Chains A and B, each alone.
Chain A
Amino acid sequence: MTSAAADRRRAFPPNWPLRIGLLVLAIYVVYAAQILDITWTRFLIGIEHGERFLSRMFPPDFSHDKLQLLYAGMMESLQIAILATVFGTAISLPLGLASARNISPAPIAWAARLFIVLCRTFHPLIVAILFVKAVGFGALAGILALTVASVGFISKLVGEATEEMSMKQVEAVRATGASFMSVIIMGVMPQVMARFIGFIAYELDSNLRNSALVGLVGGGGIGATLFTAFQRFDYDFVLTIVISIIAIVMVGEILSGFMRRLFQ
């Protein structure tokens, strides 16, 4: 009698692996918090600081001289983002095609892949530090750092998109005796162009976001303005800058969405 009841499966049996996993996760969280010296008292003290901090941030500072600084910084960030996208794209298209294993010979493909991984490894901020040392403070270091980041990102996507395309059209163009360039222009480009545009739109978007960043280490743009404001404890101006960064990023997202729709 009892065996029949035991044989009947429960609708929702207890999921032991999940429970043990959650327990391990909880233990890790406690352990890591202890290692990192994250304590409740520190958190409470911080909340107190936070109140003072927030009260100094409001209301945001919209005085005329500050707005001028904001405008100059934003324009420079915009220029950095645009130029980094232009250079990044110009390098990424050939590099991405070179890294696609279905159209370029293996040694070239592997060399290109290695280079792309190298570009992707370091955070734009670290690359910016190195370029600030190499070419000095200012917008150029920011442009170069974001160009490296763009190359790492777009070439990888371009390479993947090219590897996914249909080889039939490429072979058809090749069969007519077309040169390598003609194969690229007539066989490859029409298939991948729409996706490239999408990648470029996304890259412009992310460069705009990151251009607010490279300024922190001397790469120019709104990041420099933001960092200076922080160091001078102008927290109300900091809020103005942050609000305008969010606004610009949102506008950029809408624009890049529009651009994608235009070319799809």
Chain B
Amino acid sequence: MSTMDLPATPLRRWERFTLAERLGRALFYLIALTAIMWSFKTIEIIPEFLYDAPQQTVDLFARMWPIDWSWYFPVVHPALVETLHIATLGTILAVIMASGVALLVARNITRSPILNFIGRFILVATRSIHSIVWALFFVAVFGPGALAGTLAIAMHSIGFTGKFLSEAIEDARRGPIEALIASGAPPLSILIKGYWPQVKPAFLSISIFRWDINVRESAVLGLVGGGGLGMALDTALANLYWDQAGLVLFVIFIVVVVTEILTTLVRSRII
């Protein structure tokens, strides 16, 4: 039997994407390209500033270089301690508030779409306003200092913490919950004995992760009056004491690296 006898199969073309997908992507590329071209064409850059950029950069580091260590104990150390307290206290406050909002958002606990939506709106709104902008608000209300910084950190963290907490709560298995309901447990007991053990690892990991981020953020809040290392940096910059600014930057660098290592260690221990 020769191959000629086989029925001729029509040539099948295999396509990875449908026409709609390809059109969607093409449209997307077009929009992206237009946006990029538009940004390049219309962005306002003052060329006069660029001529001496290399000298300015060299000058910046030359002024910073012999770092002024004598400033560490009188000024930078108290600021560092304040920063760590702001970050920790802010995280604790945020976790407490976020737990409430997360319960409101989680659809398996609050069975009301309106309340869910309100909770979700709180999460998005607190998250979209940056902690620095929150700090501006709280400095205007409470005056400059650690109180404003702590509240700013707490408010901004609600969104992030609440979002992940509510997801963890929604992922909780129904089994233990139904067992508790069947035994006639009151709502609070269901929350503590049914949900909490399931959510605990996520809760701890989210809190620690947020603390790591908050240490970073609280180090700059002082630039707008929120206390901590940022305040020391702001004073040094305002006085053009670049050697002090260099010291503050160095301290921030060390703190951030140490907290990152610390949180990685703790997370690998509990999870």
Contacts and interface: CB of A to CB of B under 8 A. Distances in A.
Given A12-B193, A123-B217, A216 B44 contact: no
Q: Which of under 10, 10 to 19, 20 to 34, or 35 or more describes the interface residues of A? A: 35 or more
A108 interface: no
Chain B residues touching A, majority SS: helix
Closest 6 CB pairs of A and B: A136-B49, A36-B146, A46-B142, A249-B128, A79-B39, A50-B141
B220 A121 contact: no
Contacts of A242: 129, 133
B210 interface: no
Contacts, number: 155
Interface in A17-42: 25, 28-29, 32-33, 35-38, 42
Interface of B: 21, 24-25, 28, 35-36, 38-40, 42-46, 49-50, 53, 56-57, 60, 81-82, 85-86, 88-89, 92, 124-125, 128-130, 132-133, 136-137, 140-143, 145-147, 150, 193, 216-217, 219-220, 223-224, 227, 233, 237, 249, 252-253, 256-257
Contacts of B147: 36-38, 42-43, 46
A111 interface: no
Contacts of B133: 212-213, 226, 242, 245
A60 to B, nearest CB: 14
Nearest to A247: B128
Contact of B88 (A12, A32, A220): A32
Given A126-B249, A242-B129, A79 B42 contact: yes
Given A121-B253, A126-B220, A230-B140, A137 B49 contact: yes
Interface string A106-140: 00000000000100011101100110011111111
25 contacts: A29-B89, A35-B82, A38-B146, A46-B142, A46-B143, A49-B141, A50-B141, A53-B140, A79-B38, A125-B223, A126-B233, A130-B60, A134-B57, A136-B50, A139-B45, A140-B45, A143-B43, A212-B133, A216-B224, A245-B128, A245-B129, A245-B133, A246-B125, A246-B128, A253-B124
A130 B57 CA distance: 8
Contacts of A125: 132, 220, 223
Contacts of A75: 42
A42 B142 contact: yes
| Max chain A C-beta neighbours (<10 A), residue from B128, B150, B237 | B128
Interface of A: 12, 25, 28-29, 32-33, 35-38, 42-43, 45-46, 49-50, 53, 75-76, 78-80, 82-83, 86, 117, 121-123, 125-126, 129-130, 133-140, 143, 209-210, 212-213, 216-217, 220, 226-227, 230, 235, 242, 245-246, 249-250, 253, 259, 262-263
